[in-house]
């Protein structure tokens, strides 16, 4: 039986319900209080990696060079509404569900370990405070319609005019997420009613002659695929650099990072027979696969069972030491090499996704999602078998009070997505690792490269969880200096009214691994939502807002609630340049090495480069990329300074950029 059909209008559609999507919806509603905002979520919990994906212990204990400064004044690092959410987790409202925040350092990888049930409940309450946000849970994207809007930014520009959603409501007494995701998820994208769900097909458009602004904060990049936006998927094979002709580098599209289904473990008196029976009923070859993983993959590494328990302990009423396991603990399991699914990507490649677009099913490999579920249960069995505790290790499911995943099967409602589909940003921009600086590098300038269009900050390791089948670029270093989020990574190159956030930002395989942490995703969402709000206010697209006056207004608006600079390091609160000038990948130049220069300055036409008064190169700015790049430059003496002189078409000097060699 076909679903009910309906129509909604709004100004800003935030698709996804991820952690970044919540931040984006709040920012959009706050920035433009007259705008009507619709927020969708595919599960029944808002919050993505922090809630429905089960990673409710934020990796923030071991990497921040400014950690002590951040603890003294967290507002210099974290967005204010993110801090509001954290504060409510620490001081759980009386009517909130779940257990709130665990004691400080109950989990040794995190300063904030919490019950995801509480996290999701609080996020929904934050959304409810805004009357101009309509929240649609259990809703997926099915179709996107676009029209041509070729302009000065490119002849292939298009604009989204409508998005079709499928909203499901539980029917016949079914409780959502009772069955495995791999069994339920097919139903999400069907327009037909089923035994489990009633369906409503909703067409979303702008009102009258207005322009709809869409933020893709989905975990599958649904809007990007269905709108025809440029994007990448997988792992760069040899290098990350886009070619001068805008050709993307070679990418292994099946080489994304490992995904994982987190789950909880607790201790009880009786053996966990129910979970054993559940596994037998759902995985025909479980014993065979378990033996294989046990012999070739599973390991505690240099740690022991107890330390794995406390790694992400999200509930604790006893001792909080690294080897203190208490009978009433709840440990969230997200371990490598454990329940990480390393075999293959759960995403279809670009050709497969395009072929599916006419009848969109999410672009997933459902059989691989089931394999990821199986390896999660296999890790549970391995962990259970190796327990040194007198009580039995169990996997809480269904109505069990320790089932903080909130599902009937005990696994997270959705897999934790480390790396998915990633946009190609404005002017073909992508965040490559060349913009990051090795924290251990001699004479680094405290932070990584600060873009002229920086609208957020972040700090995390280059934390790659590779697939065993994938080969490609490797992290140039593990610890990156604190970094920034540029506007160009938050919008689509060719879809003019599409903003992107979360895992869909214009990153590469390597930079995504650093930008994917919870507070960074929130900061990106806050910036994306403000960008969308300003686009609506000014009836402009994201390219238009790169103009320096509009950009400074945007940055100032974002900075009211979300830091865009490193107070501990940056002399100026706003970037002072009108473009980007990157020399030698942010490394010092010696007198015996070749180097390259990259200047982003789309306002210019022709550029001359001078090193200590001697001209070393010249060329024209490429309009497609807004930049000029010179390679294999070489000097036979130590350089103190490089100057870029930018000219317009009449050869009038319009801007000068300076770079000072940190070697001096």
Q: What is the pLDDT of residue 65?
A: 60
Residue 74: band (very low, low, confident or very high) from pLDDT cuts 50, 70, 90? confident
Q: Which residues pair with 143 in a beta bridge?
A: 164
Average pLDDT over residues 595-607: 96
Of the chain, the percentage scoring pLDDT greater than 90 comes to: 91
Q: What is the pLDDT of residue 593?
A: 82
pLDDT tens, 221-260? 999 999 999 999 999 999 999 999 999 999 999 999 999 9
Which of 529, 518, 511 has its CA nearest to residue 419?
511
DSSP letters for 121-172: HHHHHHHHT-TTEEEE-SEEEEEEEEEE--BTTBTT-EEEEEEEEEEEEE-T
* Tokens 């549970």 belong to residue: 380
Q: What is the pLDDT of residue 440?
A: 86
The first and second tokens of residue 520, run together, are 């960074």
Q: What is the pLDDT of residue 441?
A: 82
Cis peptide before 337 (omega within 30 of 0): yes
Cβ neighbours of residue 389 under 8 Å, at least 6 residues apart?
A: 267, 325
Which of 499, 461, 458 has its CA nearest to residue 479?
461
Quote the CA–CA distance of 627 and 279 in Å, as a whole number.
55
Alpha helix positions (H), 35-115: 67-72, 80-90
Quote the CA–CA distance of 559 and 551 in Å, as a whole number.
12
Q: Is the pLDDT of residue 64 over 90?
A: no
Cβ neighbours of residue 194 under 8 Å, at least 6 residues apart?
A: 171, 187
Which of 218, 235, 217, 233 has its CA nearest to residue 524?
217
Average pLDDT over residues 27-31: 97
Residue 332: band (very low, low, confident or very high) from pLDDT cuts 50, 70, 90? very high
pTM value? 0.97
Question: Are 256 and 419 within 8 A, CB to CB?
Answer: yes
Q: Could you say which DSSP state residue 411 is in?
A: B
Quote the CA–CA distance of 460 and 64 in Å, as a whole number.
7
pLDDT tens, 379-433? 999 999 999 999 999 999 999 999 999 999 999 999 999 999 999 999 999 999 9
φ/ψ region of 120 (left if φ > 0, alpha if ψ in -120 to 50, else beta) reads alpha
Quote the CA–CA distance of 218 and 18 in Å, as a whole number.
6
Quote the CA–CA distance of 507 and 430 in Å, as a whole number.
5
Cβ neighbours of residue 208 under 8 Å, at least 6 residues apart?
A: none
pLDDT tens, 153-206? 999 999 999 999 999 999 999 999 999 999 999 999 999 999 999 999 999 999
Q: What is the pLDDT of residue 68?
A: 62
pLDDT tens, 114-161? 999 999 999 999 999 999 999 999 999 999 999 999 899 999 999 999
* Tokens 């913009």 belong to residue: 435
Residue 636: band (very low, low, confident or very high) from pLDDT cuts 50, 70, 90? confident
Q: What is the pLDDT of residue 67?
A: 61
Q: What are phi and psi of 235, to 5 degrees?
A: -120, 125
Q: Is 489 helix (H, G, I), strand (E, B) or coil?
A: helix
- Which one is predicted more confidently, 62 or 594? 594
Range with lowest mean pLDDT among 79-93, 404-418, 526-540, 626-640: 626-640
Q: Is the pLDDT of residue 663 over 80?
A: no
Quote the CA–CA distance of 448 and 487 in Å, as a whole number.
16
From start to end of 476-626, where are the E strands? 483-486, 498-500, 580-583, 594-600, 606-611, 614-620
- Which one is predicted more confidently, 512 or 111? 512
Residue 66: band (very low, low, confident or very high) from pLDDT cuts 50, 70, 90? low
Residue 269: band (very low, low, confident or very high) from pLDDT cuts 50, 70, 90? very high
Quote the CA–CA distance of 438 and 445 in Å, as a whole number.
10
Q: What is the pLDDT of residue 97?
A: 98
Alpha helix positions (H), 174-321: 181-188, 222-227, 273-282, 286-296, 305-311
Cβ neighbours of residue 467 under 8 Å, at least 6 residues apart?
A: 254, 255, 256, 257, 258, 342, 343, 344, 345
Which of 196, 142, 192 has its CA nearest to residue 169?
196
Quote the CA–CA distance of 367 and 518 in Å, as a whole number.
28
Quote the CA–CA distance of 192 and 186 in Å, as a whole number.
11
Residue 638: band (very low, low, confident or very high) from pLDDT cuts 50, 70, 90? confident
Q: What is the pLDDT of residue 637?
A: 78
Range with lowest mean pLDDT among 73-77, 301-305, 394-398, 495-499: 73-77
* Kind plus residue range of the DSSP H or E element containing 554: helix 548-559
Q: Is 544 helix (H, G, I), strand (E, B) or coil?
A: helix
């Amino acid at each position: 039986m076909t679903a009910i059909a309906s129509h909604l209008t709004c100004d800003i559609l935030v698709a996804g319900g991820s952690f970044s999507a919540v931040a984006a919806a709040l920012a959009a509603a706050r920035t433009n209080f007259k705008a009507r905002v619709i927020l969708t979520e595919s599960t029944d919990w808002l919050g993505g990696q922090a809630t429905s994906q089960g990673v409710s212990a934020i990796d923030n204990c071991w990497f921040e060079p400014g950690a002590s400064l951040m603890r003294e004044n967290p507002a210099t690092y974290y967005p204010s509404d993110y801090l509001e959410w954290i504060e409510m987790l620490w001081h759980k409202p009386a009517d909130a569900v779940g257990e709130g925040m665990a004691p400080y350092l109950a989990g040794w990888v995190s300063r904030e370990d919490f019950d995801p049930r509480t996290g999701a409940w609080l996020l929904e309450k934050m959304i409810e405070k805004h009357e101009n946000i309509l929240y649609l849970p259990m809703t997926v994207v099915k179709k996107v319609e676009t029209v041509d809007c070729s302009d000065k930014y490119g002849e292939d520009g298009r604009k989204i005019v409508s998005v079709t959603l499928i909203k499901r409501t539980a029917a016949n007494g079914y409780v959502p997420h009772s069955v495995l995701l791999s069994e339920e998820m097919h139903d999400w994208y069907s327009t037909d009613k089923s035994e489990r769900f009633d369906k409503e097909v909703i067409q979303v458009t702008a009102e009258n002659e207005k322009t709809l602004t869409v933020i893709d904060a989905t975990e599958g990049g649904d809007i990007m695929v269905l709108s025809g936006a440029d994007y990448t998927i997988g792992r760069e094979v040899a290098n990350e650099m886009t070619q001068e002709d805008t050709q993307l580098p070679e990418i292994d599209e099946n080489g994304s990072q490992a995904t994982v289904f987190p789950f909880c473990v607790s201790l009880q008196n009786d053996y966990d027979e129910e979970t054993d029976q559940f596994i037998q009923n759902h995985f025909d070859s479980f014993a065979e696969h378990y033996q294989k993983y046990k012999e070739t993959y599973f390991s505690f590494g240099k740690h022991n069972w107890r330390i794995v328990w406390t790694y992400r302990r999200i509930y604790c009423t006893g001792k909080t030491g690294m080897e203190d396991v208490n009978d009433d603990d709840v440990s969230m399991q997200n371990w490598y090499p454990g329940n990480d699914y390393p075999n293959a990507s759960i995403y279809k490649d670009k050709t497969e996704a395009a072929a599916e677009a006419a009848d969109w099913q999410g672009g997933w490999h459902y059989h691989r999602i089931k394999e990821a579920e199986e390896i999660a249960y296999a890790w549970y069995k391995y962990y259970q078998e190796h327990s040194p505790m007198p009580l039995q290790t169990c996997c809480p499911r269904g109505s069990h009070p320790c089932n903080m995943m909130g599902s009937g099967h005990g696994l997270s409602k959705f897999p934790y997505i480390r790396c998915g589909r990633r946009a190609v940003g404005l002017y073909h921009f992508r965040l490559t690792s060349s913009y990051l600086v090795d924290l251990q590098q001699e004479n680094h300038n405290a932070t990584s490269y600060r873009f002229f269009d920086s609208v957020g900050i972040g700090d995390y390791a280059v934390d790659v969880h590779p697939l065993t089948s994938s080969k490609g670029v490797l992290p140039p270093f593990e610890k990156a200096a604190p970094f920034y989020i540029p506007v160009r990574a938050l919008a689509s190159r060719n879809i003019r009214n599409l903003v992107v956030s979360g895992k869909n930002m214009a990153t590469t395989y390597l930079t995504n691994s650093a930008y994917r942490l919870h507070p960074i995703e929130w900061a990106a969402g806050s910036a994306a939502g403000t960008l969308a709000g300003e686009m609506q206010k000014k009836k402009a697209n994201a390219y238009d807002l790169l103009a320096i006056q509009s950009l400074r207004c945007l940055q100032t608006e974002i900075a009211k609630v979300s830091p865009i600079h490193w107070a501990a390091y940056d002399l100026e609160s706003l970037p002072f340049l009108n473009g980007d000038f990157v020399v030698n990948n942010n490394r010092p130049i010696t007198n015996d090495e070749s180097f390259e220069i990259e200047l982003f300055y789309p306002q210019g036409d022709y550029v001359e480069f001078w090193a200590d008064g001697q001209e070393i190169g010249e060329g024209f700015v490429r309009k497609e990329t807004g930049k000029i790049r010179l390679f294999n430059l070489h000097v036979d003496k130590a350089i103190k300074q490089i100057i870029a002189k930018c000219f317009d078409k009449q050869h009038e000097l319009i801007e000068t950029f300076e770079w000072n060699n940190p070697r001096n």
